[in-house]
Amino acid sequence: ACLSHSKSLSDEENLKLFGKCNNPNGHGHNYKVVVTVRGEIDPVSGMVMNLTDLKEYMQEAIMEPLDHKNLDKDVPYFSEVVSTTENVAVFIWDSLQKLLPQGILYKVEVHETEQNVVVYKGEETIVK
């Protein structure tokens, strides 16, 4: 669930900014997350990274803190940060960066819907 309600804005400004996603009591989302890594291909394994390891890192960085959670109430990061899809992407990036080998994380995509996709590469956020 996410709030899409900024404490810095009035109720009217929140409604104008977030539209139907504005709800001080939160609302649910089923996000799809795509993580892209890059690097040299290991000559022995033939992989940039062991996918089993990547899945474990994703479990720890994404599923454990976020799955079936009210982002604004259950995830400390979002007590001060508005839980937009953009900020969810930043949270996932930062969480994965702490676990993955340095320089291997390339891109985090968070799909809120088929049409709403946020791409984060650590510096700028791209909304598709």
Q: What's the pTM?
A: 0.77
Check whether 7 has a pLDDT greater than 70.
no
In the predicted model, what is the mean pLDDT of the chain?
85
Residues 6+ apart with CB under 8 A from 102: none
How confident is the model over 43-99, as pLDDT tens digits? 999 999 999 999 999 999 999 999 988 888 899 999 999 888 999 999 999 999 999
Instruction: Report the CATH number of the 29-120 domain.
Output: 3.30.479.10
With 0-12 / 13-18 / 19 or more C-beta atoms within 10 angstroms meaning exposed / middle / buried, residue 3 is buried
Domain ranges of the chain: 29-120
Active site residues: 21, 68, 112
How confident is the model over 24-41, as pLDDT tens digits? 555 577 899 999 999 999
